[in-house]
Amino acid sequence: MAEMFDLIVIGAGMAGVSAARKCASQGWRVAIVDALPYGGTCALRGCDPKKILRRGAEIIDSARLMRGKGIDEAGLSINWTDLMKHKEGFTDGVPASMEEGLAGSGVTTLHGEATFVDAHRLDIDGVVYESRNFLIATGARPRPLDVPGHEHIIDSTAFLELETLPARVLFIGGGFVSFEFAHIAARAGAAPVILDRGKRPLKGFDPDLVELLIERGAEAGVEVRREATITAVEQVASGYRVRFDTSGEQSSLDVDLVVHGAGRIPEIAGLNLDAAGIAWTERGVSVGAHLQSTTHSGVYAAGDAADTPGLPLTPVAVFEGKVAASNLLKGTTTAPDYTGVPTTVFTIPELTRVGMLEQEARDSGIDLDVRYTDAGGWYSNYRIGEKTAAAKILIDRAADRIVGAHLLGPDYGELINFIGLAMKLGLSTRQLKSMTASYPSVASDLGSML
């Protein structure tokens, strides 16, 4: 007979781990399975290692900004091999630590490819397990690129494992991955190019601030080409030749490395969801507002594998995992609250937002007050030599509440959290401005931005 559980979690990233621990703590018999090392994309192949690499880029950029202001950066450079070892000092220990923590919480840890046999049975590398409930938290994977020579393109995971950084790097797509990695590569001495097939890169962010970021990136050596559609990648003696179409004109670039940054899709193709009667779309497992499958009452989904209104962010995956676990345990229908969740592109400087875009707010009929500030000359930025910084705060005049905020500047990924909290708690701008911040700190700029 198949081994029986109360819950099997598929995916040992942050969403799955948080849910597994929560249910095990209430006495449920819980198992978790993943074909990859435990820890998920964020800790092993995304957010955390990326930001460790960014630290090296920050130091280089900070020194350059202070050129002629008391700092001589001559000879300062990134040792890519050593920086990678620093990254591995964090990532290498994650899987074992994660697995030990789960086992200590009473969760059975399994390894292998999981495939549904039917509504209540799961095959894991030839061994069948049975469960009353399942949580699908398998995350996302790079969107397939159907272009000749796609086998020459590496993904973000491979980029984060490069032993050396080539001189000429091309990034396909104008999203998070391309911009963040290109900004790191430029400060590490490479010549990065981003090819975006649209007119507007980073579409989820304020277009005015995106343009400022592109200008700032160009100063650092990041080239962005728009309306460029990849048509082929060819291997040549010097590396790779990338062919692309720009407004009907054929062009090509010779580079040493081609990196996939053209978006991600839910990692659900191998689960055989149809065998279990689990509805899904290209956006993920179809779930109600409370994260329960629309077609299978014993299945929930969270994080990037679920078709929810939540942004594809680790903190969102974590709280969706916790909400799903709570609904499983209590039989409730609580829906996650996505209000006030910020998202940040960790370029240099960083670009961040929370709430609506300006056009979304105008389209909604809000009596909108747009408060735009060029903060490039403010003390907090003058102090470090940065001249590119701006804020656009969107206010509902009638309620005196923030409905959206868009910031570009050093440490603004931290500053946005105050605004996100204010939105979540329903604070007015008057209440938020009443905060007395530590001075001189970046947070002390918030009152002036409002």
pLDDT digits (tens, 9 = 90+) for 169-191: 999 999 999 999 999 999 999 99
Left (φ > 0), alpha (ψ -120 to 50) or beta: where does 163 sit?
Answer: alpha
Angle at 36 between CA 31 and CA 37, to 5 degrees: 80
Q: How far lies 261's CA from each of 141, 180, 201, in Å? A: 11, 10, 12
168: closest CA among 300, 258, 42? 258
248: pLDDT confidence band, cut at 50, 70 and 90? confident
Quickly count: other Cβ atoms within 10 Å of residue 219's Cβ. 11
Quickly count: other Cβ atoms within 10 Å of residue 66's Cβ. 16
Average pLDDT over residues 211-233: 97
**322-333 as b/e: b if 16+ CB within 10 A:** bbbbbbbbeeee
The 8 Å CB, 24+ separation contacts for 385-389 are: 385/62, 385/65, 385/66, 385/67, 385/69, 386/65, 386/349, 386/410, 388/212, 388/213, 388/215, 388/216, 388/349, 389/349
Residue 374, token pair as written in the block: 């060029």
The SS3 of residue 306 is strand
pLDDT at residue 5 in the model: 97
> What separation, in Å, do the N-terminal and C-terminal C-alpha atoms of the chain show?
64
Q: How far apart are CA 152 and CA 143, in angstroms?
A: 15
Q: How far apart are CA 293 and CA 301, in angstroms?
A: 7
pLDDT at residue 329 in the model: 97
Q: Check whether 117 has a pLDDT greater than 70.
A: yes
Q: Give the residues across from 229 on adjacent strands.
A: 245
* Average pLDDT over all residues of the chain: 96
DSSP letter string over 372-435? EEE-TTSHHHHTTT----EEEEEEETTTTEEEEEEEEETTHHHHHHHHHHHHHHT-BHHHHHT-
Q: How far apart are CA 376 and CA 445, in angstroms?
A: 12
Q: Check whether 449 has a pLDDT greater than 80.
A: yes
pLDDT tens column, 299-336:
999 999 999 999 999 999 999 999 999 999 999 999 99
409: pLDDT confidence band, cut at 50, 70 and 90? very high
Radius of gyration over every alpha carbon of the chain, rounded to an integer in angstroms: 23
Average pLDDT over residues 35-55: 96
Q: How far apart are CA 192 and CA 143, in angstroms?
A: 21
Q: Give the residues across from 31 on adjacent strands.
A: 8, 108
Q: Identity (one letter) of the amino acid at 365?
A: G
The SS3 of residue 157 is helix
440 prior amide bond cis, ω within 30:
yes
Q: How far lies 345's CA from each of 65, 129, 285, 353, 420, in Å? A: 20, 40, 26, 9, 16
pLDDT at residue 3 in the model: 80
Q: Check whether 97 has a pLDDT greater than 90.
A: yes
pLDDT at residue 4 in the model: 92
Q: Give the residues across from 129 on adjacent strands.
A: 3, 122
Average pLDDT over residues 384-395: 98
Question: For the whole model, what pTM was predicted?
Answer: 0.95
Q: How far apart are CA 73 and CA 308, in angstroms?
A: 47
Q: How far apart are CA 101 and CA 360, in angstroms?
A: 43
pLDDT at residue 1 in the model: 62
Q: How far apart are CA 444 and CA 59, in angstroms?
A: 24
186: closest CA among 163, 214, 159, 218? 218
292: closest CA among 132, 133, 138? 133
DSSP structural state of residue 203: T
393: pLDDT confidence band, cut at 50, 70 and 90? very high
Percentage of the chain beyond pLDDT 90 is 98
pLDDT at residue 247 in the model: 83
Percentage of the chain beyond pLDDT 70 is 100
Q: How far lies 216's CA from each of 10, 160, 194, 223, in Å? A: 42, 24, 14, 10
pLDDT at residue 21 in the model: 97
Residue 110, token pair as written in the block: 């399994």
